[in-house]
Amino acid sequence: MIELLLWFAWSVVLIDIATILALIFFENREPQSVLAWLLLVLIFPVGGFVIYLLFGFKYFKTREFRLKTTRDQAVLDRVRKGQEVGVPDETEMTLGTLAADTDLARMLWANSAAFLSAGNQVDVFTSGAAKFDALFEAIDGAKKHIHLEYYILRNDALGERLVQALERKAREGVEVRLLYDDLGNNIPRLRYRHLTALGARVSGFYRALVPSIGLRVNYRNHRKIAVIDGTVGFVGGFNIGNEYLGLGPLGAWRDTAVRIRGAAVRSLQLRFVLDWNYATGEGLGLGPAYFWPSTPVGTASIQVVSGGPDTTNNPPREQYVKMVNSAKRTFYLQTPYFIPDPSVLTALRLAALSGVDVRIMIPTRGDHPFVHWASLSYVGELLSAGVRGFSYDAGFLHAKTATVDDFATSIGSANWDLRSFKWNFETNAVIYDAKLSEAYRRIFEDDMTRCTEITMESYAHRSRLTQFRESISRLFSAAI
């Protein structure tokens, strides 16, 4: 018995050593992330190692996405050179139409080939009912093709409504492609068989090694994109499920998405095609079948910014930092998860100290307690710099938005947390339109009427238990 215990103890030590060696010698991590993982492994030798394999090990990232990186970059390089006629680069021409500072747009173009397109019409949705009515209306009116890319598809009434709508269009001869994240989707694969029998194409992204056992919890496709006939696009925070209609355990649901008509739809289409080709190997081209010529239908200029573990420097994170640094008067952000890295935290602090009206809104009730307590700690840290914090009381806040100076507004899938900055594939629409930005600022201010402000006084008087929860959650948040 003693020998068995000794063998077990030595095995644990060897596992710990192997983990530490992997952390230090084989992975290029930030120092705070290394320290957090080391602490977790030392405190919980066996459990910490298992958690590290599930959430922290990065070797498979390099191997899995090297090919995607190479292929995507080759396509983007051809577009930059004007060799893909279906996706013309309008960046330089459109820059001249922007009324305010163009530094943000130039950076996003140089950093991630986020083409700047003018003449777009944008409609904002802040309720699930309105967003899904618009989405199903577009699907029902499709004549050529339907391309959908979603992180979560629930096996519930809304998920079933979507599958049935796609089946109807497939019967009509419309091309249907549905790309879901293999971990986020819980509609049984058997349910898709009838849809595929009708000619639709359905695929999972980064599939689990064993079906129904999702051990690959990192590198998820967190995007929410829909493109109908190449003329209408949707992007934002809504997945497909009853909870996004306010019918889940969290109750009322506050989110944001946009419907885009105009040239920027081609950028959403490009993102879908790149992800679809990686997941399926189908080899969809960038020709006129999916990329139609566009005429101006509105006043908004748009860049679609995408990033993930297949990019060296995550573009959505750098987009957020640049937006904060560009602010002269106001910067309002909404996010369900606020775990910024040092660059984002510093940018927000310096903006507030420079006199910018910085406001951060997070949910009062989080869906992940660990992340919620860590978020509170980061908001609390910024209060002394003059940042105003708000907790949304009227349900769960899931919107991922940022508005700067009534000039630019970002609406998409990327949260202000390390998971969106490092591990997940994300897409935002950066919209340059003074009227829309002013309108969204007013939406934010209306949301404030349903918030409790987190003041320095209230934060200082939080309970000892809350302080303990924040400290523990923040300590290990750097590891994820």
Tens digit of pLDDT for each residue in 182-227?
999 999 999 999 999 999 999 999 876 555 444 456 789 999 999 9
Q: How does 27-53 read in b/e, with b if 16+ C-beta sit within 10 Å?
A: bebeeebbebbbebbeeebeebbebbe
Given a contact cutoff of 8 angstroms between Cβ atoms, the answer to whether 58 and 64 are in contact is: no
Given a cut of 60, whether residue 398 has pLDDT beyond it is: yes
Segment among 18-22, 323-327, 337-341, 408-412 with least mean pLDDT:
18-22
222 catalytic per annotation: yes
Strands 401-404 and 330-334 turn out to be antiparallel
Which residue in the list 68, 131, 147, 224 is annotated as catalytic?
224
Which residue in the list 68, 131, 147, 400 is annotated as catalytic?
400
Which residue in the list 68, 131, 222, 372 is annotated as catalytic?
222
Which residue in the list 255, 398, 406, 417 is annotated as catalytic?
398
Closest C-alpha among 423, 382, 379, 428 to residue 401: 428
Given a cut of 90, whether residue 336 has pLDDT beyond it is: yes
Locate the domains of the chain by residue range: 2-57, 61-307, 315-412+433-477
User: Rounded to an integer, what distance in angstroms lies between the CA atom of residue 412 and that of residue 245?
Assistant: 18
Which residue in the list 229, 255, 275, 310 is annotated as catalytic?
229
Given a cut of 90, whether residue 67 has pLDDT beyond it is: no
Mean pLDDT for the chain overall: 88
DSSP code at position 294: -
Given a contact cutoff of 8 angstroms between Cβ atoms, the answer to whether 365 and 396 are in contact is: yes
User: Rounded to an integer, what distance in angstroms lies between the CA atom of residue 10 and that of residue 5?
Assistant: 9
Residue 316 confidence class, pLDDT cut points 50, 70, 90: very high
User: For the domain 315-412+433-477, what is the CATH code?
Assistant: 3.30.870.10
Tens digit of pLDDT for each residue in 117-160?
999 999 999 999 999 999 999 999 999 999 999 999 999 999 99
Given a contact cutoff of 8 angstroms between Cβ atoms, the answer to whether 182 and 266 are in contact is: no
Closest C-alpha among 409, 402, 305 to residue 347: 402
Count, residues in the chain = 480
Task: Give the phi and the psi of residue 233 in degrees, each rounded to 5.
Answer: -130, 150
Which residue in the list 182, 405, 406, 433 is annotated as catalytic?
405
Tens digit of pLDDT for each residue in 236-250?
999 999 999 999 999
405 catalytic per annotation: yes
Cα of first residue to Cα of last residue in the chain, in angstroms, is 37
229 catalytic per annotation: yes
- 61-307: CATH architecture: 2-Layer Sandwich (3.30)
Given a contact cutoff of 8 angstroms between Cβ atoms, the answer to whether 253 and 398 are in contact is: yes
**Three-state secondary structure readout of 158-227:** HHHHHHHHHHHHHHCCCEEEEEEECCCECCCHHHHHHHHHCCCEEEEECCCCECCECCCCCCCECCEEEE
Give the Å distances, CA to CA, from 70 to 67, 74, 88, 109, 205.
5, 6, 21, 18, 18
16 catalytic per annotation: no
